[in-house]
Amino acid sequence: MTSLAHKPAISLSRIAIYAVLIIAVLLYLVPLVVMLLTSFKSPEDISTGNLLSWPTVITDIGWVKAWATVNGYFWNSIKITVPAVLISTAIGALNGYVLSMWRFRGSQLFFGLLLFGCFLPFQTVLLPASFTLGKMGLASTTTGLVFVHIVYGLAFTTLFFRNYYVSIPDALVKAARLDGAGFFTIFRLIILPMSTPIIMVCLIWQFTQIWNDFLFGVVFSSGDSQPITVALNNLVNTSTGVKEYNVDMAAAMIAGLPTLLVYVVAGKYFVRGLTAGAVKG
Amino acid sequence: MATLELRNVNKTYGAGLPDTLKNIELSISDGEFLILVGPSGCGKSTLMNCIAGLENITGGAIMIDDQDVSGMSPKDRDIAMVFQSYALYPTMSVRENIEFGLKIRKMAQSAIDEEVARVAKLLQIEHLLNRKPGQLSGGQQQRVAMGRALARRPKIYLFDEPLSNLDAKLRVEMRTEMKLMHQRLKTTTVYVTHDQIEAMTLGDKVAVMKDGIIQQFGTPKQIYNDPANLFVASFIGSPPMNFIPLRLQRKDGRLVALLDSGQARCELPLGVTDAGLEDREIILGMRPEQISLMQGEPNGLPNIRAEVQVTEPTGPDTLVFVNLNGTKVCCRLAPDVAPQVGETLTLQFDPAKVLLFDAQTGERLGVVAKPQAQVHSDNVAQFKGR
């Protein structure tokens, strides 16, 4: 690219473009900066300084206290998110495989109905879900919450995998069938190894959705089994005592870190996977 | 090594929909090379998928070695297939691609290695074994796809337009190579193509299909010289057969076809005497190579003078287009004939090779091909336009 540029790289329009981009970046970064600064401030700094002022002393008391408060819930969230993400992704992959390569009578209709699940707001399923969980004896348990997340996530994961697999030529499956491979062998040995980008997309999507979920967490769990989002809310919304903004900010950072980490690690697959099939190659 | 027989095979995708395959009857013996040829959508690929077991038939029976396999799953039919898109497993190396079917069938690793080595040597892909399909050229991928089929040593090979994704030069090379391979291995093969040259050159038997019906089943020679109907006659042959619509007339007790080039007219005596053909709209079929340039004195064959409309020198031949009975007619002449547009040539025909078709149904009429011993100038009336 650079070798093609014969003229000086800097022109007026370039400057304008960069200026806009830099302003956008700053706007997006300000909240993060405020959070980070505040989380490392002492309570005195918070009460005397303003939002953007530099801390006079950098202290980790906010982080220590925040971790002490939410760490149990952090592990709750992991216990909820990891199985829910893995199971919903696995079932979604299998669903997508069937709906694209082993079509049956009415499979298009089935897929169409399944897609409705993507447009259902959380609130509409609260009552039926809690009723069902009650009948199953899973009310207010981690298992129950995981179950709700898996069911709700299936519509999305199936959609992702089905649309990815539709672009894989049928002849591959035919060839494998003639080679003697069965339904699961083809899935395991031929289809899954081709699915890395879409698996990554699914994992990121589901992880973000389930980790950040508040509503299902607050409704379908109680007491010590609540996820970190609910715990964070309880912490920040306390109406007694002095507001400890440094603790609030640190706790919010802790709650947000895992999704950030997932993006950093698998993010390159996210864009690649979402645009897969849009452009060949 | 196997025989293949299709007994009254039918296929439809649901009640009310038109049949995709209608009463398909054909059989080939051990080691024969069968070509299924026809235009897109004629059902040839569906028929192949049915033989492979990838699609179920709705009626009839598919017999391999006299055993009905219609209800069997693809893996139990012992068939290998090469796909148009090659369908190589993209995440596996060439070696793994070839091994896959053998591993699934739980062959011992030492036997697998031996088989891969044999196939790789046969197809000259030894140096590619560790590459992924994405790193191969189209021709190399094609070889690997064939290798995957060869490795299993199945009873029957199925080829679904395997050469159509290659460029023209490679296609001709691979065609010859496939023929060599078949001569060496002598495995029963079914080969789908829409390319009539592949059909003519590769096949022991050819089945020409249209609209799910086999129009004709025979040797390439039969199909070419003795087509069953207008469709087969027009589909096979390049450049295609000329079709001239006209009415037959009776002259001195025999049927004649009257050709008119605008400059001259000529009567083509036909070997048929069938009274039913008289005074009826028919189509006269004549292959381009059956029209030749008259050199020197008339030799007894009917001839006509005609004006050259277009010439197409192809190298080995010169294709000359003239107008007969208002129809553009292609003549395949020697390459050293280089007529100018507008020039008048004297062309002659062999009436014994002329074919007749019903103008309405397209069916072949009367067998004309019997050469008449006394086609002499005494009963060949010649009109030279004055």
Find the mean pLDDT for residues B133-142.
Answer: 90
Strands B291-293 and B344-349: antiparallel
Assign B241 to helix, strand or coil: coil
Find the mean pLDDT for residues A251-270.
Answer: 86
Which range in A186-195, A270-279, B10-19 is most confidently predicted, on average pLDDT? A186-195
Using a CB-CB cut-off of 8 Å, the residues of chain A touching B46 are none
DSSP state letter for B273: -
Q: Are A244 and A64 a contacting pair, CB within 8 Å?
A: no
Pick B83's closest partner by Cβ from A171, A193, A194. Answer: A171
Find the mean pLDDT for residues B6-25.
Answer: 88
pLDDT at position B383: 37
Contacts of B27 by beta carbon, 8 Å cutoff, 6+ apart: B3, B4, B5, B6
- Determine whether the interchain pair B84/A171 forms a contact, defined as Cβ–Cβ distance below 8 Å: yes
The domain B4-235 is placed in CATH, from the list 3.40.50.300, 3.40.50.800, 3.40.50.970, 3.30.2320.50, at: 3.40.50.300
For residue B85, the chain A residue with the least C-alpha distance is: A171
**Confidence class of residue A8 from pLDDT cuts 50, 70 and 90?**
low
pLDDT at position A281: 36
pLDDT tens digits, one per residue of B318-366: 999 999 999 999 999 998 888 889 999 999 988 888 898 988 888 888 7
Q: Is the pLDDT reported for residue A6 higher than 70?
A: no
Shortest Cα–Cα distance, B200 to chain A (Å): 27
Pick A178's closest partner by Cβ from B79, B90, B92. Answer: B79
pLDDT at position A266: 80
Question: What is the share, in percent, of chain A residues with pLDDT greater than 70?
Answer: 92
- Determine whether the interchain pair A175/B148 forms a contact, defined as Cβ–Cβ distance below 8 Å: yes
Using a CB-CB cut-off of 8 Å, the residues of chain B touching A181 are 75, 100, 104
Question: Whole-number mean pLDDT of chain B?
Answer: 87
pLDDT tens digits, one per residue of A147-165: 999 999 999 999 999 999 9
Assign B353 to helix, strand or coil: helix
Q: Smallest Cα–Cα separation from A189: which of B92, B115, B141?
A: B92
Assign B47 to helix, strand or coil: helix
What sign has the CA pseudo-torsion B211, B217, B220, B226? negative
**Confidence class of residue B263 from pLDDT cuts 50, 70 and 90?**
confident
pLDDT at position A196: 87
Using a CB-CB cut-off of 8 Å, the residues of chain A touching B85 are 169, 171
A-interface mutation test, from B48, B72, B81, most A Cβ less than 10 A away: B81
Concatenate the DSSP letters of all residues of chain A into one string: -GGG--S-S--HHHHHHHHHHHHHHHHHHHHHHHHHHHHTS-HHHHHHS-TTPPPSS---HHHHHHHHHHHHHHHHHHHHHHHHHHHHHHHHHHHHHHHHHS--TTHHHHHHHHHHHHH--HHHHHHHHHHHHHHHT-TTSHHHHHHHHHHHHHHHHHHHHHHHHHTS-HHHHHHHHHTT--HHHHIIIIIGGG-HHHHHHHHHHHHHHHHH--HHHHHH--GGG--HHHHHHHHHT--SS---HHHHHHHHHHHHHHHHHHHHHHHHHHHHHHTBTTB--
Using a CB-CB cut-off of 8 Å, the residues of chain B touching A182 are 75
pLDDT at position B375: 36
How far from the centroid of its chain's Cα atoms is residue B370's Cα? 24
Cα–Cα dist B91/A193, whole Å: 6
Q: Are A234 and A73 a contacting pair, CB within 8 Å?
A: no
Using a CB-CB cut-off of 8 Å, the residues of chain B touching A171 are 83-87
Shortest Cα–Cα distance, A188 to chain B (Å): 12
Q: Are B32 and B183 a contacting pair, CB within 8 Å?
A: no
Cα–Cα dist A36/B202, whole Å: 75
Q: Which long-range contacts (CB under 8 A, 24 or more apart) does A260-268 make?
A: A262/A203, A262/A204, A262/A207, A262/A208, A263/A204, A266/A200, A266/A203, A266/A204, A267/A204
Shortest Cα–Cα distance, B15 to chain A (Å): 14
Amino acid identity, position B306: A
Q: What is the ipTM of this complex?
A: 0.79
pLDDT at position A275: 57
Q: Smallest Cα–Cα separation from B381: which of B279, B304, B306, B286?
A: B304
pTM: 0.80
Question: Chain B 67-126, CB below 8 Å of chain A: which residues?
Answer: 73-75, 79-81, 83-87, 89-92, 100-101, 104-105
Using a CB-CB cut-off of 8 Å, the residues of chain B touching A180 are 75, 101, 104-105
Assign B276 to helix, strand or coil: helix
Cα–Cα dist B232/A144, whole Å: 68
Contacts of B251 by beta carbon, 8 Å cutoff, 6+ apart: B267, B269, B381
Find the mean pLDDT for residues A49-73.
Answer: 87
Q: Smallest Cα–Cα separation from B255: which of B146, B368, B102?
A: B368
pLDDT at position A50: 79
B-interface mutation test, from A101, A104, A167, A178, most B Cβ less than 10 A away: A178
Pick B52's closest partner by Cβ from A178, A182, A193. Answer: A178
The first and second tokens of residue B151, run together, are 């490795």
Q: Is the pLDDT reported for residue A14 higher than 60?
A: yes
Q: Is the pLDDT reported for residue A229 higher than 90?
A: yes
Question: Chain A 173-192, CB below 8 Å of chain B: which residues?
Answer: 174-182, 185, 189-190
Q: What is the CATH number of domain B242-383?
A: 2.40.50.140
Q: How many CB pairs under 8 A join A and B?
A: 58
Question: What is the share, in percent, of chain B residues with pLDDT greater than 70?
Answer: 94
- Determine whether the interchain pair B148/A179 forms a contact, defined as Cβ–Cβ distance below 8 Å: yes
Cα–Cα dist B29/B27, whole Å: 7
Q: Smallest Cα–Cα separation from A45: which of A55, A33, A37?
A: A55
Find the mean pLDDT for residues B189-201.
Answer: 91
Find the mean pLDDT for residues B54-71.
Answer: 92
Cα–Cα dist B296/B315, whole Å: 25
Find the mean pLDDT for residues A19-44.
Answer: 91
C-alpha distances (whole Å) from A115 to each of A112, A122, B120, B255 are 5, 15, 47, 71
Contacts of B378 by beta carbon, 8 Å cutoff, 6+ apart: none
The first and second tokens of residue B225, run together, are 């010289």
Runs of H (alpha helix) within chain B: 44-52, 94-104, 109-123, 138-151, 168-185, 196-202, 220-225, 230-235
pLDDT at position A152: 92
Using a CB-CB cut-off of 8 Å, the residues of chain B touching A179 are 75, 100-101, 104, 148, 152
Among A93-102, A255-264, B168-177, B245-254, whose mean pLDDT is lowest? B245-254
Shortest Cα–Cα distance, A231 to chain B (Å): 45
pLDDT at position A280: 38
For residue A194, the chain B residue with the least C-alpha distance is: B91
Q: In chain A, what is the straight-line distance between the N-terminal and C-terminal CA atoms, in Å?
A: 20
Question: Chain A 37-96, CB below 8 Å of chain B: which residues?
Answer: none
**Phi, psi for A119 (deg, rounded to 5):** -100, 0
Find the mean pLDDT for residues B90-94.
Answer: 92
What sign has the CA pseudo-torsion B61, B62, B63, B68? negative
pLDDT at position A147: 94
| Residue extents of the structural domains in chain B | 4-235, 242-383
Residue B333's DSSP bridge partners are: B318
Cα–Cα dist B34/B206, whole Å: 6
pLDDT at position B250: 82
- Determine whether the interchain pair B87/A179 forms a contact, defined as Cβ–Cβ distance below 8 Å: no
Q: Are B192 and B159 a contacting pair, CB within 8 Å?
A: yes
**Phi, psi for B66 (deg, rounded to 5):** 65, 15
Cα–Cα dist B326/A130, whole Å: 83
Q: Is the pLDDT reported for residue A1 higher than 50?
A: no
- Is the preceding peptide bond at B239 cis, omega within 30 degrees of 0? yes
pLDDT at position A272: 67
Find the mean pLDDT for residues A102-128.
Answer: 90
Find the mean pLDDT for residues A237-259.
Answer: 86
**Confidence class of residue B215 from pLDDT cuts 50, 70 and 90?**
very high
Shortest Cα–Cα distance, B7 to chain A (Å): 22
Concatenate the DSSP letters of all residues of B53-104 into one string: TSS--SEEEEEETTEE-TTS-GGGS-EEEE-TT----TTS-HHHHHHHHHHH
A276 and chain B in contact, CB less than 8 A: no
Among A54-58, B112-116, B118-122, B177-181, whose mean pLDDT is lowest? A54-58
Question: Whole-number mean pLDDT of chain A?
Answer: 87
**Confidence class of residue B298 from pLDDT cuts 50, 70 and 90?**
confident
Pick B104's closest partner by Cβ from A172, A181, A194. Answer: A181
